[in-house]
Amino acid sequence: MTRKSAAFSAVSILIIFALACPAISKASSNQKPFKCFIVSDSHFGWKHPAQPSNSTIAHGVKHIMYRFPDLDLFIDTGDIHHSDADDRARADWTEIIQGGANYLPFHVAAGNHETVTFNGVDSEKRTMALSSITCRPYYSFDLQGIHFICLPQLITPNLVTHESIEWLKLDLKLNKDKTTVIFTHNSLKDTTSSHDSKIYRMVANSDEVLKLLDSYPNVIAWMHGHNHTWELVEKNDRFYVSNGRIGGFSPSFNKDFRHHIGGIYFEIGKNHFTVKAYDATAKEFFDEKPGYKHLTKTMKLKTSYNPETSAAVSWGMGCSRDGQKVEAFQHHIGSGKNEQQLVLAPCKGGAFNENQNLSITSENKEGWSKGRLIPGISISPKKTVEGEIDGIRFIEEGIELLPLGENITKRSLHSPKRGAYYEYYQIMPGQTYKASAEMKAEKYGAKCGLIFRIYDTNGNLIHTKKVKPKAIDTGKTIIKSIFTVPDSLKGFGMYGDDDSSNVINLAVEAKITEHTMPVKVYKFAVEQASVGNPGDNFKVRINDRSYKAGLKNGEIKKFKLGQNINARETVNVSTPADYRLTWTIKQTGLKWQVRNAPAEYLENGEIKVGPIRNKFSENNEIIIVPLKKIDVPYVHRMKGISKCRIQPYNPKTREIRIYVEELKGEYHEVKFANVRQGASNFINMGKLNFETFAPNIFGAEILEEGLAVIKF
């Protein structure tokens, strides 16, 4: 049965509460569809003549907000800064793109330039702090009955990791009755064009991803960045959309796209889904130009759109390992009545590195990206020999490494990708891990040894174990070794202090020596060799409370969390032997999105905010956005206030109270939204500005730490 013949009903709990962006119209659901705008590939910090100036990008964003005054959502699909950019570029993105979203809910599906760069930092953690992402770079959220998933490629630009896919499987299963849109960075095979590079501009494991998506007809779109082009393809009742560019290079492979900036507008109503490419330079939709009618399409279908449904967010981790700890920062909060649900799903098997069978491959035979890749694993050195690119030959069961000659007799396989030591793969003190490589040599002489390296979050090498090389036979040979993480690291970082962000990660190298003949590689696996916890229970600990269940493969278990989650939380996982655990936490009944700092709802009704998490901009600005319509004043922006508690508008006293706990920088300001008739009775406030910034906005300087009060 196709999607177009199916009827979807909204299954979300109907909760009517008075919170929303001021820009959201009062029209009923049959008058106003859900509206979103997507920008992509701003590439702040790219030092190249093709990069638009910051003022050009800022003007484009301001125009988009002016042209589309009643949007419900603003999205960035990645490459928010260039890979070698400094912190100034991250500040520019914070101020121009994220700050430019103003009153709208804003989300990021991260790109390769910010997440797949390893310059002495954990680039995934940096990106999540920059983008106000809770736990892992993949996550989902619900607005007005529509389900949205942010699914970046990790480790390498062209791979949806096994970790991500396992979490995606659970998320899709839990939301199979909701119209679903996926925001991502790279394209899938045989959809939008890979143009100048299949190795770079197409997900290598597209078949696996498409098979999963095709089992869920409610998934109506895959909307991606990366290519900087505007493309719109309808295939199998699904839209595949390339979201254009708001910055970055102007594609040379199609002159019609050169020098434009803009993005994608879409809307979802009860019975339709419309996508339109927009040119912010010319200030018009592309279909208003001759020859561009194909860049607007409408799909007729029943959707789960319901403007009265409460907002929700889901976050977690795919295939967590026994003992693993992960940080979570709350950027979406509700009230004491919001619901929080933990869902557990087991993953069979202890091996956890990507592409263990080397079955996912990609290649470009010419051009700037000429090469052969085994995503998730890297090989060094590389050199084209015997007509084989990079000295690598793809074979039916794996790869064949050819000798490179010129006295090059050593080659290595690295898991994870060489340089990706700081995120992958987290390990636990005192636990034992096993690495194995299955190889075969054309003739005797070559050897292979394993090297285990431990790095901390900051990229510091803190431990190494080298295993004596073993001869590679002419029959299949397994080179294997176990490695126990030193007990001395049990007090290190997060393992001894939940408030720490520092963890330890494992990188494994299979080093081939005396490589003077071809060597076939069939497998390169890293797995947890410890026994796991006693019995068959899976356990997740959050905020000193544990949730456990005995589960078989394919089963799931749901728990209602008995407490609100703190602004910053540590989640600890325990699994039985030979199992990992996929888990997700869904929070519903949400009222506010808080950007650049975590937040939590307190029992007395106050909202605790801070400290600042996105520290890249000198503005030190926290942005608070309502997720449903609100008609009373509220705190919208705070500049230079790192930590505070907000007592929301009290209709009896007509006051908002802010308990300022920590100031940062030289200037401290609060902007209040929905201020219709001015304000009075100020405590701890200096310079005042009414409607200087925008209509119905009141700005006030905070003089010092302590209580600040304003009456409307």
Cβ-based burial of 358 (10 A; exposed 0-12, middle 13-18, buried ≥19): buried
The matching CATH number, chosen from 2.40.50, 3.30.960, 1.10.8, 2.60.120, for 362-424+432-528 is 2.60.120
For 437, residues 6+ apart whose C-beta sits below 8 A from its C-beta are: 413, 448, 450, 478, 479, 480, 510, 521, 523, 524, 525
- What is the chain's Cα-based Rg? 26
Residue 155's beta-bridge partner residues? none
Here the tokens at position 325 are: 């700890």
CA 574 to chain centre: 24
Contact, 446 vs 515, CB < 8 A?
yes
The Cα 382–Cα 391 span in angstroms is 6
Query: Strand 392-395 to strand 34-39: parallel, antiparallel, or no bridges (unpaired)?
Result: unpaired
| Averaged pLDDT in 10-residue chunks for the chain of 712 residues | 42 30 40 95 95 97 98 98 94 98 97 81 93 98 99 94 97 98 97 84 95 98 96 97 95 68 98 98 95 96 97 97 95 85 93 95 89 95 94 96 93 88 87 96 94 93 96 96 94 92 95 96 92 71 91 92 89 91 97 98 95 96 95 96 97 97 94 90 88 84 96 93
Q: Distance between CA atoms of 562 and 680, rounded to whole angstroms?
A: 41
pLDDT confidence of residue 675: 93
Q: Do domains 320-350+533-590 and 362-424+432-528 have the same CATH topology?
A: yes
> What pTM was estimated for this model as a whole?
0.93
- Helix (H) or strand (E) run with residue 210 in it: helix 206-214
The partner residues of 266 in beta bridges, in order of sequence, read 36, 275
Question: The tokens of 451 are what?
Answer: 């090297």
3-16+34-309: what fold?
Purple Acid Phosphatase; chain A, domain 2 (3.60.21)
Q: Distance (Å, rounded) from C-alpha 604 to C-alpha 511?
A: 59
Look at residue 11 in the predicted model and tell me its pLDDT.
Answer: 31
Question: Which CATH code of 2.60.40, 2.60.120, 1.10.3210, 1.10.10 fits the domain covering 320-350+533-590?
Answer: 2.60.120
- What does DSSP assign to residue 54? H
Q: Where are the beta strands (DSSP E) in 90-166?
A: 106-108, 139-143, 146-150
The pLDDT score that the predictor gives to residue 473 is: 95
Could you please state the CATH topology (level 3) that the domain comprising 598-711 is classified under.
Chondroitinase Ac; Chain A, domain 3 (2.60.220)
Percent helix, strand, coil in the chain, to 5, is 10, 40, 50
Secondary structure (3-state) at 483: strand
Q: What is the DSSP secondary-structure string of 162-203?
A: HHHHHHHHHHHHHTTTS-EEEEESSPPTTSS--TT-TTTSS-
DSSP letter, residue 684: S
CB 496 within 8 A of CB 489: no
| Residue 87 CB burial class (10 angstroms; 0-12, 13-18, ≥19) | middle
Q: Which amino acid is at 232?
A: L
Interior angle at CA 225, CA 221 and CA 228, nearest 5: 125
Q: Which residues are paired to 110 by β-bridges?
A: none
Domain boundaries, the chain: 3-16+34-309, 320-350+533-590, 362-424+432-528, 598-711
For residue 360, the tally of other CB atoms under 10 A from its CB is: 23
DSSP assignment letter at 486: P
What is the per-residue pLDDT for 27? 38
Quick one: pLDDT at residue 169? 98
Strand partners, 634: 673
Name the token pair of 580: 């990992």
Q: 616 exposed, middle or buried (CB, 10 Å; 0-12, 13-18, 19+)? A: buried
b/e per residue 502-512 (b: at least 16 CB within 10 A)? ebbbbbbbbbb
- Long-range residue pairs from 486-490, CB within 8 A, at least 24 positions apart, any chain: 486/429, 487/429, 487/430, 488/429, 489/429, 489/454, 489/462, 489/463, 490/429, 490/430
> Residue 695: which residues within 8 A CB-CB, separation 6 or more?
none
Longest Cα–Cα distance in the chain: 88
